[in-house]
Structure 1
């Protein structure tokens, strides 16, 4: 019995040792895992590199000192939007944005950093200096004036809408609400489009735009503005000359040649008109010349003017002589419309 009890005690002690060994091994593994998963202490440079890498995935635009001031304003606006989407910290916005300046724009930024009395530490300061350089206040005033005088003109409704939305951000005080925005857009429409839109008394901007597009489609094709397509993908500002379509002469140059040199509708040839067509002249029957009436000048009847004969003036002594001689018989005769007075 004693031997059996001693054997049982040995078996229990062995089992305990195995369990303790397993626990020790589990603790060691747990400590090792905890040590391997401890957070790495990130430096400032590592943080900047990580944020720049994440921001680069958004494909931000690059600014190279474009001569168009609107390009500078658009670049700054896109950078602000992308930084807000990526939640870039405020103290890193200037550092990240300056890495996307190239060419003359980066030379300007280097000159700013070289100034001893200028310290750019905030995004607001960078934004102010950038706009003063590439989008000055005078340009903003010009854009406000352009928005004030914006008119549909020769543009399509789609082009007018794009221009309207491009300029309206420079004068937000002119369109404080949706109704004012819709009214401003409607007032600038061309007359034949405007008269079809204002009948509905619309108050929403999107509804006015949609109604203007529908009205434009109802305008007869002869009154529409023809837009030439630029082979480079853009749209040209010059109005295209309209040439009537013809199944035989599709080229505008051929149409101009037809206008200049003549086109015969009998033989369908260029170079003469139908009245001069040689095919018609080959079998025309000669017509005998007709006698021309003789021209005679109208005869005018001459009629002598009627004049009245007057006796010559007699001196005073002749009167006294006549009284001495006595009365004189006078006879009046008329011959061929002329009156004569004779003494008897």
Structure 2
């Protein structure tokens, strides 16, 4: 007869003290891993500086070898900031300066994105969606946003009319101040619409009675049936 498989007894439940020690161990392991990664990039950077002449270009393969993280959208600003810092570090690792970065973007793409920026409008999108597109495309039209005044005017020009009029009266001094005011104004507008919706939901509906009032309708002066009966009495 086959003996049943023997399983080891389950581990005892983790106490609060053991849990704290376990978390500390994980944090220490992450710290060591991060230090090793930073040390590796520093050594790679030093090696690049020694082996690569100053006037030699940087290839796309050089950058891809660093395994950069792809990025499209992040709901939290800090996620985008972390990605940007990681990408900047890897670009510096392969020795790619600002001049070389710009040369890697085709002129046709720059012109296409510049035209997209010129025609950018908020339309039915949320303010934050418009802000993200504005920030992304404005990098291809630096001459149109190289001052706070230019950036504010271009931002206002693409806003929906319901926000544009009130924000023009505000006269913000900085672009970020204008963006914050637009977000606040949109939030107030949404709250107002929600209050109207709730009020309309609970208000009694008024029905219009289109039926004619019989008491006011025309009545004949004489009854034809009575007239016939009266006339028959003469015979």
Q: Determine which structure has more spread, i.e. the larger CA radius of gyration.
A: 1
Larger RCO (alpha carbons 8 Å, 6+ apart): 2
Give TM-score, length-normalised by structure 1: 0.31
Name whichever structure is richer in helix by fraction.
2
Give TM-score, length-normalised by structure 2: 0.43
